[in-house]
């Protein structure tokens, strides 16, 4: 249990999609339920978490005072109120890790007692199946030990990368929102299969396995996607016909514009 010593006691504030995902991931990775607490606004949710995971559910202030690491997993609009609520209860040296999109380190540090070590993180939903991508940026009061703690905590649900905070809007657009683009492509491919007369379950199985296989090839071969695409594309064949149509429809450009729009939106959200 070397891991536990590094991260200490973890308090997760806000037990929605991401908070619940990280909680389940920590427990799957072998952390004892006694070393994690959560806060939940709705009593039904609190009862469910207690029953399913055997963890203690506390009020925000009690949870924040208990944790060595406090993970903020509420919506961005609820962050400022939460910081004001928990700030006075934090013990000196408590590490605050925020998952909130668009909430800058300056805003987080400004809402907490002077000197609080803060880490800004952009996770994504595949954390639910331990294939998450969490990207962190340490605040101005973080020591290497704090960053290590956050890395340790987040690595229980997937990969972790550290970047300068100036990259976080682009990161949000690429990997934070990224799973949604892949699900969008999956939907379109399934509908195409159905259009061509395949039963829906068959079309779904073909698409899910194809996406999984293609992603695994990218990971395992380390090849550039263009090379892998060329390998599928026979001269005068079916793939070339399809890819020409995608190019005619400017699908690559549409993806670039979409991801740029997400990045701009993330920057806009940081203003509030």
Ligand X SMILES: NC(=O)C1=CN([C@@H]2O[C@H](COP(=O)(O)OP(=O)(O)OC[C@H]3O[C@@H](n4cnc5c(N)ncnc54)[C@H](O)[C@@H]3O)[C@@H](O)[C@H]2O)C=CC1
Ligand Y SMILES: O=C(O)[C@@H]1CCC=N1
**Binding positions for ligand X, rule: CB under 6 A:** 13-19, 39, 41-42, 60, 73-76, 78, 81-82, 99-101, 122-125, 176
* 74 vs 190, beta carbon nearer ligand X: 74
Distance CA 201, CA 210 (A): 14
Q: Which does 78 bind (CB under 5 to 8 A by kind): ligand X, ligand Y, none?
A: ligand X
* 138 vs 176, beta carbon nearer ligand Y: 176
Say if residue 46 carries a ligand binding annotation. Answer: no
Say if residue 73 carries a ligand binding annotation. Answer: yes
Q: Which does 71 bind (CB under 5 to 8 A by kind): ligand Y, ligand X, none?
A: none
Q: How far apart are the first and last CA of the chain?
A: 40
Q: Which does 15 bind (CB under 5 to 8 A by kind): ligand X, ligand Y, none?
A: ligand X
Residue 56: closest CA among 64, 47, 65: 47
At closest approach, how far in Å is the CB of 183 from ligand Y?
12
Q: Which residues of 1-29 are buried (b: 16+ CB within 10 A; e: fewer)?
A: eeeeeebebbbbbbbeebbbbbbbbbbee
Q: Which does 17 bind (CB under 5 to 8 A by kind): ligand Y, ligand X, none?
A: ligand X
* 7 vs 39, beta carbon nearer ligand X: 39
Say if residue 74 carries a ligand binding annotation. Answer: yes
Query: Which DSSP symbol is given to 212?
Result: H
Query: Which DSSP symbol is given to 192?
Result: H
Tokens 């300056």 belong to 106
Max CA separation in the chain (angstroms)? 69
Distance CA 97, CA 113 (A): 14
Which residues of this chain interact with ligand Y, rule CB under 6 A?
Answer: 101, 172, 176-177
Cβ-proximal residue to ligand Y, closest one: 176
**Residues of each annotated binding site for NADP(+):** 13-18, 73-76
């Amino acid at each position: 249990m070397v891991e536990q010593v590094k991260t200490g006691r973890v308090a997760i504030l806000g037990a929605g999609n991401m908070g619940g995902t990280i909680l389940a991931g920590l427990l799957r990775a072998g952390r004892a339920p006694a070393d994690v607490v959560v806060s939940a606004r709705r009593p039904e949710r609190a009862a469910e978490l207690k029953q399913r995971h055997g963890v203690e559910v506390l009020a925000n202030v009690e949870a924040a005072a208990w944790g060595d690491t406090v993970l903020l997993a509420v919506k961005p609009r609820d962050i400022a109120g939460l910081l004001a609520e928990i700030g006075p209860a934090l013990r000196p040296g408590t590490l605050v890790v925020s998952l909130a999109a668009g909430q800058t380190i300056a805003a987080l540090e400004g809402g907490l007692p002077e000197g609080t070590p803060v880490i800004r993180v952009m996770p994504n939903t595949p954390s639910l199946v331990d294939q998450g991508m969490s990207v962190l940026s340490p605040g101005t009061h973080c020591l290497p030990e704090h960053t290590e703690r956050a890395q340790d905590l987040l690595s229980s649900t997937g990969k972790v990368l550290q970047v300068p905070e100036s990259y976080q809007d682009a990161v949000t657009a690429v990997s934070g929102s990224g799973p949604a683009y892949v699900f969008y492509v999956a939907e379109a491919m399934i509908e195409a299969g159905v259009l061509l007369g395949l039963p829906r379950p068959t079309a779904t199985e073909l698409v899910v396995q194809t996406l999984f296989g293609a992603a695994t090839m990218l990971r395992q071969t380390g090849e550039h996607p263009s090379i892998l695409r060329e390998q599928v594309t026979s001269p005068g064949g079916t793939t070339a016909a399809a890819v020409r149509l995608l190019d005619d429809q400017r699908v690559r450009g549409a993806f670039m514009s979409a991801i740029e729009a997400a990045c701009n939106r993330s920057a806009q959200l940081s203003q509030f």
